[in-house]
Homo-oligomer: A and B are copies of this chain.
């Protein structure tokens, strides 16, 4: 009887008074998944600029770290998490960011997020949202910044970008309360914010007590010299710094962080608590374990070598197949920016590429250009991909 009532409670059986018990067959059929499968069947090579080499994800190391966490974590750690993040990860990240990115911070300033978009949404809502305030954004730039700002009822003011990064003199003529920049490697232009512009930007923030949001999305990858330091290290009181594991490990880890000026930490943590953001403490503890053991450093060393090889092959192939194109942004990150000759029709290039199974991004705001992610491209396919792409460029000009 117990077993029967259990199965009834779980919905496997249906009990009707006076009519016996029957298998609830109708409960077991669910409408077939219709709109679930993405139409990616025709894409053979994804040159998306934000995908790391997913075949390099340290699956075994991650599983071992998860095993360590599940054996050693206290029961309390399985309960509702601290909205600021688990202390172990906040501590590991503080040391890691000070060491690798030159941040000046205390552990209390680190807040663990579910990724950069989630961190941006949190920052806009908690610090600026809903009062007719405005945020300056790089143009062209990453759509996640403008989308999250708009969702927080902020007006966005686009500011042009050149080879030295954002034009701070244009910014200074606006009434923006904050600016979002990617100083280490601007997307999609690939430019690095110059020392002069950095100084100007910090000066702008100091003059009006304004906020700089620094998106440091792929700065761990720097191939030809010491990494450019963070803006946060220059002005910890006015820079809100954002990073994540999406480029270093994999987007599926869904762990990011922000480092806030001390005076804003309380509002951000309270906003995180109220909206229930933040990733699983189990993942947070696993990441802390990887950082503490040096596994993340080791993984990044291997990935840097892999990416440098793929980048070199890409640059050689581009020089051979598209000699008129001007390549920039190759010193860092996971992609290069390729300026095409004036008159090239970018939408047509992308359409031709798509028919050949290549997913490529492009932009036209500063003359025709393509953005080519190479991290995910295996060494053996770089040449044929660039040859196919060059054919598309020729067809579209």
Q: Mark A247-260, 1 if CB is under 8 A from B, else 0.
A: 00011111100000
**Cβ of A336 < 8 Å from any Cβ of B?**
no
Q: Closest Cβ of chain B: how far from A199's Cβ, in Å?
A: 21
**Cβ of A105 < 8 Å from any Cβ of B?**
yes
Cα-based distance from A66 to B95 in the complex (angstroms):
28
Given contacts A59-B71, A276-B117, contact A282 B253 (CB under 8 A): yes
Query: Which residues of B have CB within 8 Å of A57?
Result: 75, 78
A contacts with B: majority SS: helix
Pick the interface stretch among A28-36, A134-142, A169-177, A343-351.
A28-36
**Cβ of A299 < 8 Å from any Cβ of B?**
no
Contact B9 A222 (CB under 8 A): yes
Given contacts A253-B282, A275-B151, contact A30 B105 (CB under 8 A): yes
Query: Which residues of B have CB within 8 Å of A50?
Result: 80
Query: Which residues of B have CB within 8 Å of A208?
Result: none
Cα-based distance from A79 to B254 in the complex (angstroms):
10
Q: Closest Cβ of chain B: how far from A145's Cβ, in Å?
A: 11
State the number of copies, please.
Answer: 2
Interface residues on A, range: 35 or more
Q: Which residue of B lies closest to A36 (CB)?
A: B87
Contact B276 A95 (CB under 8 A): no
**Cβ of A100 < 8 Å from any Cβ of B?**
yes
Query: Which residues of B have CB within 8 Å of A275?
Result: 117-118, 121, 148, 151
Q: Closest Cβ of chain B: how far from A237's Cβ, in Å?
A: 15
Contact A252 B71 (CB under 8 A): no
Contact B30 A54 (CB under 8 A): no
Pick the interface stretch among A108-116, A185-193, A311-319.
A108-116
List 6 other contacts, CB 8 Å, given A9-B222, A118-B277.
Answer: A11-B99, A51-B80, A114-B277, A148-B275, A253-B280, A254-B278
Which residues of A pack against B, CB within 8 Å?
5-6, 8-12, 15, 24, 27-28, 30-38, 50-51, 54-55, 57, 59-60, 62-63, 66-67, 70-71, 75-82, 87, 90-91, 94-95, 98-102, 105-108, 114-118, 120-121, 125, 130, 144, 147-148, 151, 153, 222, 226-227, 246, 250-255, 271, 274-283, 297, 300-301
